[in-house]
Amino acid sequence: MADTGLRLAALERRPLTDALAHAGEVAQARIGFALSALDGAVPEAMLYAVKGGKALRAFLALESARLHDINPAKAAGAAAAIECIHAYSLVHDDMPCMDDDDTRRGQPTVHRKWDEATAVLAGDGLQALAFELLVQAECSPRAKMNLVVSLAHAAGVRGMVGGQAADIAAESAAVPLDLDQIMALQAGKTGALITWSALVGPRMAEAEREPLTIYGEALGLAFQIADDILDETGDAAVVGKAVGKDAAAGKATFVSLLGLDGAKRRASQLVDDACDALSPYGEDAETLKEAARFVIARTH
């Protein structure tokens, strides 16, 4: 009976701070359990890489499930999977061949704490583990296949990897990217995984996806604009990683193209768009609206 009560309570809407913390705990518990029988530097580095983040993507997965009357416990595998993919991308992104960062989330990056080979393997391990965890989502075989294929697309050359490749190419391009090109690049690099997370619920429920697709795409773009603003104005000690790198490298960003005030206005409009898209869900979507507002108000 106690377990039933917990499962029923899980369907109630949580305040954003509690929901983010809960999502992080759920994802890390699943990942920790999956790695608990393994020894060595690589599993240790994998666990290290998933700790300390905002767990926004895991939150979106669990909250979109709740919004579709799916107990978040059934979506825990999906929440853990997306945190694995996100963490793997950061481990590789921080390496000398990419962004060459020494700190992440206020701690040494994986390749600094261990070495480059361990960082590569930890990232590879997290990517593989993501799909192992994803098949633990409790839904129909058809819905599960949709989750797996769509995550492969969102994480691969059609999404995150493709966006990252375009970002690297832009650094040496003779002509800086324009606003439309930056938006397309970031829709892959940052937005694809955020949108996928927001669609976990309707995919598991085999329900209408359009409202949360619009929400996820707007949220992903607002998130990246906020990142660009933090790179321009943030404090490295608060942000948890180096700042000012984009301007120093002469990269085209939302701030360089729109100006600081213009970037803030664009992010605010995207948040309004994201919240408007949730109107079919009424008050039940208030936590997702809070998340959209949080994305552009955060300091790290």
Give the torsion sign (CA, 234, 239, 245, 250): negative
Please tell me whether residue 172 adopts helix, strand or coil conformation: coil
Query: HSE of 277 in the Cβ direction (CA atoms, 13 Å)?
Result: 22
Helix, strand, coil percent values for the chain (each to nearest 5): 75, 0, 25
Q: Where are the domains of the chain?
A: 2-297
Per-residue pLDDT of the chain (300 residues; tens, 9 = 90+): 233 333 434 567 889 999 999 999 999 999 999 999 999 999 999 999 999 999 999 999 999 999 999 998 999 999 999 999 999 999 999 999 999 999 999 899 999 999 999 999 999 999 999 999 999 999 999 999 999 999 999 999 999 999 999 999 998 888 889 999 999 999 999 999 999 999 999 999 999 999 999 999 999 999 999 999 998 886 776 666 666 676 666 678 999 999 999 999 999 999 999 999 999 999 999 999 999 999 999 877
CATH topology for 2-297 is: Farnesyl Diphosphate Synthase (1.10.600)
Joined tokens for residue 247: 């301007």
Please tell me whether residue 103 adopts helix, strand or coil conformation: strand
Q: Is 137 exposed, middle or buried (0-12, 13-18, 19+ CB in 10 A)?
A: buried
